[in-house]
Chain A
Amino acid sequence: MMSEGCSFMKGMFLGGIFCLVMSLFGTFSPGPQGDGHLHHHLKPVSKDELQKLSEAQMYDLTQQVRVYCVIMVTPKLLVYWATANDTWSKHCDKSVFYTSESSKALEALDLQEDDEWARLRKAITHAYENAGDLRWFFVARPTTFAIIENLKYLVLEKDPSQPFYIGRTEKSGELEYVEYDGGIVLSYEAMKRLVEIFKDEEKCPARGHALWKMSEEKQLATCLKYSGVFAENGEDAQGKSLFNKKSVTSMISDSMGKNPNDVVESCCSDLAITFGGMPAGQMQVMMYGVYRLRPYGHDFHDSLTFLPPKDSDND
């Protein structure tokens, strides 16, 4: 009786150890990490590094980092569509609105497709084929507000012929994906691999899995994973997330609750790239707040210069 009890205890103990060991192995999961960037966090180049560059190099970098904005709209989102058209999308080097069905009010590329995943595939394929010499792609819905200059700063010295898939990362089981509402950044190489794997019906089915419908963001992540491209979380030098799926007012509200003595500092990054779920009026205020409103006498001397877009009066 005693020896059985002892054996049972020994067995349980060893079982526990076994489980721990297995899960640890699970954490360090092997497999292609995508050509050299094993980390899951991505930060912009440091100020010191930037200052080492010559003016000519700086100018070259500014000219090279150009963004193609893929904005996925529907007539239901007409107000947001109009606002995105009028505000942040003007700061993209090229912005194309891809819609499910055409609207008389605004211009867009009509994909004539109801299924969201199918639409996204078509848009990505179209963007890749029409990229010209643009090497960075930003995919978002018009309910997200983006500060493209800060996106450019994030990817400034990164090589777009390497696969990059950046945004606000989240985990679902084993899958690490970028949240759609925070905007998705893809390098030229990542787009290339995506377009390639779209052809593989098994790994990256066009109509999604029959059994259960995954959201487009997860389907995208899965397809990318099969191509050896992994999600990375964009953050600033202090580790604050640059991509946000919540609106700025929502984040301030949260901060007032969590850090009432230090609301603004603990809230959001100075160089935030996106805020999601922003109502149209708030987007206009954000345009003013980002591109115009400032305190006289405070300068940042950023080593780069991004010029304002032509034909615009709200920035």
Chain B
Amino acid sequence: MKALGARSAFYVGFLVGTCSLYLFLSQVGLSRNLGSHGPEPHAKTVEEMIEEESKNWKKERSALFNLNHPHHTGEDGILADDLYKRVRVLCWVMTGPSNLEKKARHVKATWSRHCNIVVFVSSVDDPDFPTVGLNTKEGRDQLYWKTIRAFHYVMEKHGDEADWFLKADDDTYVIVDNLRWILANHSPEDPIYFGRRFKPYVKQGYMSGGAGYVLSREALRRFVEGFSKKVCTHTSSVEDLAMGQCMEKVGVLAGDSRDTIQRETFHPFVPDSHLAGTFPKTFWYWNYCYYPIVQGPQCCSDLAVSFHYVDASKMYLLEYYTYHLRAFGYEYRYQPPEPHIPQDKAPVPDNMEVGDLGQNQAVEKKEEENKSPEQNEKL
């Protein structure tokens, strides 16, 4: 009797064990799929990020000095590295305290890493981000004040440390490598500035604020001098127009930033808008562009420099498209020529290495080239 009871207890137990473990396993998900979608990418912790940041940036005087501009695995960045040394760009980004987390943070994580120096300009000093507070308030009517003060600030603090000075908004995406390609054809001693050229109100045109614009060192010098001599003043809060009027007054040329087949590089909107080709006929844009507007694929150069109204996720998307995603082995239709470096009257920057190939080329070319700045206007 007892033996029978024990045996059936055993069988019942066996059944119970099998079933319960089966249920347990199927809950846990004996999924063979665990391996098939690749390893979970290791999420970077904040500590790792801070450590990496300190290797890549030197925070000094409220600016970020780029120690180690990004290189992509498997790429040959020789040309880009050469331009990085030769064409030093200081990027200052117009932002505000309420936009640091929403917008400026993403600029910091993406395109600004390719500038030689980055300064985030705000109304408030923030040593952590870092941002520079320039004694202004926030708001659209403060835009030109911020701009004036920002350019004065970078001239004073960093005038010797860069050749070109770019202004961008915190919703502008800039491809600094392509900016260098354009600027390399010009000397920082030329009084010239580049951006998306608009035609109304100013005879030589002026540059769209949102699409970003870049001043040569000489242009910046003249801008600051213009204010000290009262040739330029705070005429209006329409920052880009007022800027353009001052530039014309102090003899700084409005340059042509288009590529070698006349396609625009600085863009006042997101790529979707330019590529889709659907601006309504009554849109202001049609009357503003200095050069003929092209809609559809030829709107934009392969070597685009900027886009505007770019929100956070689009910043990462553009970074992915520009620096990461590609078609393997694809032979691009547009083969941009190497920039031809003009004779440079300025002293060689400290950070250029001895025996630098480019420097030798510049020395050789000194004898041949003696072009005036005006002739250098177009690429």
Contact = CB atoms under 8 A, between A and B. Distances in A.
Interface pairs A-B: 10 shortest CB-CB: A15-B17, A11-B13, A297-B80, A289-B321, A297-B79, A239-B38, A12-B17, A295-B177, A8-B13, A304-B329
Given A4-B5, A150-B327, A19 B18 contact: yes
B303 interface: yes
Nearest to A17: B17
A164 to B, nearest CB: 16
Contacts of A169: 33, 36
Contact of B302 (A294, A301, A302, A306): A294
Contact of B80 (A4, A6, A295, A303): A295
29 contacts: A5-B9, A7-B7, A8-B12, A10-B13, A20-B25, A23-B25, A41-B38, A149-B329, A153-B329, A168-B37, A176-B36, A264-B323, A264-B324, A271-B326, A287-B297, A288-B300, A288-B321, A289-B321, A294-B303, A295-B322, A296-B80, A296-B181, A298-B80, A298-B177, A299-B77, A302-B329, A307-B331, A308-B332, A314-B275
A170 interface: yes
A285 interface: yes
Given A11-B10, A252-B316, A295-B114, 5 more contacts: A11-B12, A12-B20, A267-B316, A281-B276, A289-B317
B38 A238 contact: yes
Interface in A267-315: 267-268, 270-272, 281-282, 284-308, 313-315
A237 to B, nearest CB: 9
Contact of B321 (A15, A290, A297): A290
Contacts of A189: none
B32 interface: yes
A302 B330 CA distance: 9
For chain A, which range describes its interface: under 10, 10 to 19, 20 to 34, or 35 or more residues? 35 or more
Contacts of A9: 13
Nearest to B300: A288
Contacts, number: 273
Interface string A100-139: 0000000000000000000000000000000000000000
Nearest to B15: A15
A143 interface: no
Contacts of A241: 37-38
Contacts of A306: 327-331
A299 B75 contact: yes
A181 to B, nearest CB: 15
Contacts of A41: 35-36, 38
Given A4-B9, A265-B41, A298-B80, A292 B329 contact: no
Interface of A: 3-20, 23, 27, 40-41, 47, 62, 91, 147, 149-150, 152-153, 168-171, 176, 233, 235, 238-241, 248-249, 252-253, 255-256, 258-259, 261-268, 270-272, 281-282, 284-308, 313-315
B322 to A, nearest CB: 6
Nearest to A3: B6
B2 interface: yes
A299 B76 contact: yes
A8 B175 CA distance: 72
B317 A252 contact: yes
Contact of B9 (A11, A302, A314): A11
Residue from A47, A171, A258, A298 with most neighbouring chain B CB atoms (10 Å): A298
A294 B329 contact: no
Interface in B33-65: 33, 35-39, 41, 43-46, 48-49
A308 B84 CA distance: 30
Interface in B324-357: 324-334, 336
